[in-house]
């Protein structure tokens, strides 16, 4: 491997360390969790070389967002998929107001639907 490749991409274990270092509120993630997320989120596309996964900065950013939504905000996988599929939504984890307002909108819509069903 070249130096450029090593500096541009991180192995799955390096990415796991990044995610676990950034995550102080929940349990540490495991390798099988990252592999599962790859199957669930089409946005994740690590490079595969000799059966090893290598993640660029874009993929790491997506993983940080997935982790935040699932572990810190308590969203479901389907909820996170909807948020990530929204092309116009620019998510900055440093600006949690945007994230919280989107989650609140989703929850209000769910509550509204439940109330309508109860009235029927």
State residue 41's pLDDT score.
93
Q: Is 6 helix (H, G, I), strand (E, B) or coil?
A: helix
Strand, helix or coil for residue 10: strand
Run means of pLDDT, 10 residues per run, the chain, 120 residues: 57 88 71 92 91 91 90 89 75 53 72 82
What residue ranges define each of the domains in the chain, with the CATH number in brackets? 3-119 (1.10.1660.10)
Residue 99: predicted pLDDT: 54
Nearest alpha carbon to residue 84 among 58, 104, 111, 110: 58
Which pLDDT belongs to residue 59?
92
| pLDDT of res. 94 | 54
Question: How far are the Cα atoms of 21, 23, 41, 78, 82 from residue 96, in angstroms, in the given order?
Answer: 19, 15, 22, 20, 18
């Amino acid at each position: 491997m070249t130096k450029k490749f090593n500096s541009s991409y991180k192995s799955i274990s390096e990415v796991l360390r990044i995610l676990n270092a950034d995550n102080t509120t929940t349990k540490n993630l495991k390798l099988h969790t990252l592999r599962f997320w790859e199957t669930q989120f089409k946005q994740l596309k690590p490079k595969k070389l000799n059966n090893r996964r290598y993640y660029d900065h874009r993929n790491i950013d997506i993983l940080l967002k997935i982790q935040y939504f699932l572990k810190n905000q308590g969203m479901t996988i389907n909820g996170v998929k909807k948020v990530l599929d929204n092309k116009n939504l620019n998510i900055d984890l440093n600006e949690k107001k945007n994230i919280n307002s989107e989650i609140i909108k989703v929850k209000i819509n769910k509550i509204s639907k439940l109330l309508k069903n109860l009235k029927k």
